[in-house]
Structure 1
Amino acid sequence: MPVRPVPSAPVDPGRALIVGGLWMTAACGMLALLAAEIRMAAQHVHPLEVVFFRNLFGVVLMVPMLRRLPLPYDFRRRWTLFGLRGLTSFLAMSTWFFAVATIPLADAVALNFTLPLFATLLAVITLGETVRARRWTALAVGFAGTLVVLRPGFTEVSAGTIAALASALFMASSAISIRRMAAHDGPAVITFWSNIVMTPISLIPAAFVWTWPGWEGWAWLLLVGATAIIAQIFLSRAYAAAPTSAVMPFDFTRLPFAVLIGLAFFDEVPDPWTLVGATVIIGS
């Protein structure tokens, strides 16, 4: 008689949500810590160098995963998408690293919450997605919250705040390109080859501001690379444990983590308007 496979135990949705939420919260804590490490590394070398080493260490740390990737890989099939994703990711990373190095962490994270707003607009423009009136209203509310954080005319809009907004726009562009690539390749392939593309791209501008770090600088750069990988692992576990729509609300825990880390390590007291604006953006 053929042996019937033993059916797997049904997954408890409640438990899956708890597990996914915990992994997502842990990932957000690591991302907030990563922002602080980027700021410390940027005190030793230019932020563009930090971007380069982040990408380089990302490639090195992913080498053990090569055996899981389809090799040889015909990179020529989608070199345009990989190039676009590499360029937008480099721009997103560069502007984000500059932002967290120059403005309060809470401000940078609050402005980064505009990413879904930019992603929606880009999806309409580039993918032809249909957005209903309710979503357009939410977009308007979200951008109003952005103005509350920026308060143009009442406070100086610094290069760091502009960089934080630009990083959200470029992150949204990168997300759109990933969405196209995901139809053909898995996450490991996209991540590995995107890092391969971003490493030489980020080396070019870094070469113009290059200074060799000291021992302390190397330590911070290694921490940046390691923390980024750990955050990615936590994110992957969160998305594997529960549906994306269920774990994404936990992404907003990045703000309290950023507030706590900014206060503990940099004596940054968050501006009340930043918290109000962030609440409006999140609520949209």
Structure 2
Amino acid sequence: MNPKLPVFLSLSGSSFNQGLMWMGLSMASFIAMSVGSRELAATLSIRQVLFFRALVGLFVILAVGRSVFPEIPAMRRVPLHLLRNIVHFTAQYFWTVGVVLLPLASVFALEFTMPMWVTLFAWILLGERISRARLLATVGGFIGVLVIVRPGVGMIDPAAGLVLIAAAGYGLSLIMVKRLTRQCSPGAIVVWMILIQLPLGLIAAMTDWRPVQAGDMPWMMLAGIGALSAHFCQAQALKRLEASVVIPIDFLRVPMAAVVGYYAYGEAIDLWVFLGGGIILLSNLQAVLAERHGRLTGALPAEPLVEKADRR
């Protein structure tokens, strides 16, 4: 790749177009998962929603993912798998609460604070130095959150706080995934996720079980398949596109969610959400571009987070 060319020009046409396709599928899958989860929560408890999402994921893995099963008996890094999935499961619970109680666009905009939490946890847990670009991105992300929730204008919806906690949980989970990838394939990490989160979901669901109707089945399929498809398609896009391209494209989830929320649920389109989300987006984007420039000029290591994670 020629470092003198802009990001978009340095990508082959085929790879770039494929990446755009995978990102489009990823964004559609995330929104489908959100809609399926919200519809399920109308008749079932949120704990049941998480259980059935994992149950559908199990059937999908059994159908198309059996090639990674030989890795499972090796039992590599099981304690870390367990800790990662407890954190991720808790984050999913808070995120689903947000999906049910907040406009969809607000949920996705607040979720974009995850890189801010990744930076914080990398500093705390991995001892990684925070670059000036990442520090500015963290400050920008915090300002974006303030614009979205607007404290002082009215009572802040507690659900917004839960989504921020979920974003922090996803950030911590990502740090642990980076450590797991040293010894485990992505497919094995997904299988462990299903195997651990399915019983967690069942135990949680049994504390608030409600009758399941035949009409719930399509929404279960939409939420469960959407969840697996979203992460798979995103990973495929990241193979073909740089993060500096993926981040602004992925932000299109916010207006897409706003349109779906407007037509499906009559949610008002809040310009403050777009303004705050835009601040978060630009903050993350400038950090990625600054780090990319630093790697190309030799001022930064190629993957500091992964390297530090692997040494621990």
The answer to whether the superposition gives a TM-score over 0.5 is: yes
| Higher RCO (C-alpha under 8 Å, 6+ residues apart) | 1
Cα distance in structure 1, aligned partners of 2:113 and 2:200: 26
State the shift of 1:14 in Å.
Answer: 3.4
Deviations 1:209-248 (A, max 9, x none): 1012111122211221122233233223312333444333
Equivalent residue number for residue 246 of structure 2: 247
Matched, 1:132 2:98: no
Cα distance in structure 1, aligned partners of 2:112 and 2:268: 19
- Please say if residues 108 and 254 of structure 2, whose CA atoms lie closer than 8 Å, have aligned partners that are also in contact: yes
Equivalent residue number for residue 8 of structure 1: none
State the shift of 1:70 in Å.
Answer: 5.2
Identity over aligned pairs, percent: 30
**Higher mean C-alpha deviation, range 143-152 or range 27-36:** 27-36
State the shift of 1:190 in Å.
Answer: 0.4
Equivalent residue number for residue 148 of structure 2: 149
Equivalent residue number for residue 257 of structure 2: 258
Aligned partner of residue 73 in structure 1, secondary structure: helix
Deviations 1:149-193 (A, max 9, x none): 111221222231111111101111111110000011111000011
State the shift of 1:99 in Å.
Answer: 0.5
Equivalent residue number for residue 5 of structure 1: none
RMSD: 1.8
**Higher mean C-alpha deviation, range 57-66 or range 176-185:** 57-66
Deviations 1:137-157 (A, max 9, x none): 221111011011111221222
Q: Aligned AA for 2:254?
A: L
State the shift of 1:263 in Å.
Answer: 0.6
Cα distance in structure 1, aligned partners of 2:218 and 2:140: 42
Q: How does 1:260-275 map to 2 (within 5 A)?
A: 260-275=259-274
Equivalent residue number for residue 104 of structure 2: 105
**Higher mean C-alpha deviation, range 147-156 or range 71-80:** 71-80
**Higher mean C-alpha deviation, range 63-72 or range 223-232:** 63-72
Cα distance in structure 1, aligned partners of 2:11 and 2:176: 34
Q: 1:26 to 1:67 in 2, by over 3 A?
A: closer
Q: 1:237 to 1:76 in 2, by over 3 A?
A: closer
Cα distance in structure 1, aligned partners of 2:112 and 2:72: 35
Cα distance in structure 1, aligned partners of 2:12 and 2:124: 35
Cα distance in structure 2, aligned partners of 1:216 and 1:18: 38
Q: 1:141 to 1:242 in 2, by over 3 A?
A: closer
Q: 1:277 to 1:244 in 2, by over 3 A?
A: closer
Q: 1:240 to 1:134 in 2, by over 3 A?
A: closer
Q: 1:133 to 1:101 in 2, by over 3 A?
A: same
Aligned partner of residue 219 in structure 1, secondary structure: helix
- Please say if residues 96 and 163 of structure 1, whose CA atoms lie closer than 8 Å, have aligned partners that are also in contact: yes
Cα distance in structure 1, aligned partners of 2:78 and 2:240: 32
Equivalent residue number for residue 40 of structure 2: 41
State the shift of 1:12 in Å.
Answer: 5.9
* Residue segments in structure 1 that go unaligned for 5+ positions in a row: 1-10
TM-score by length of 1: 0.91
Deviations 1:90-142 (A, max 9, x none): 01111111110111111111111101111111111111111112321221111
Q: Aligned AA for 1:160?
A: A
Cα distance in structure 1, aligned partners of 2:224 and 2:71: 26
Equivalent residue number for residue 7 of structure 1: none
TM-score by length of 2: 0.83
- Please say if residues 247 and 281 of structure 2, whose CA atoms lie closer than 8 Å, have aligned partners that are also in contact: no
Q: Aligned AA for 1:190?
A: I
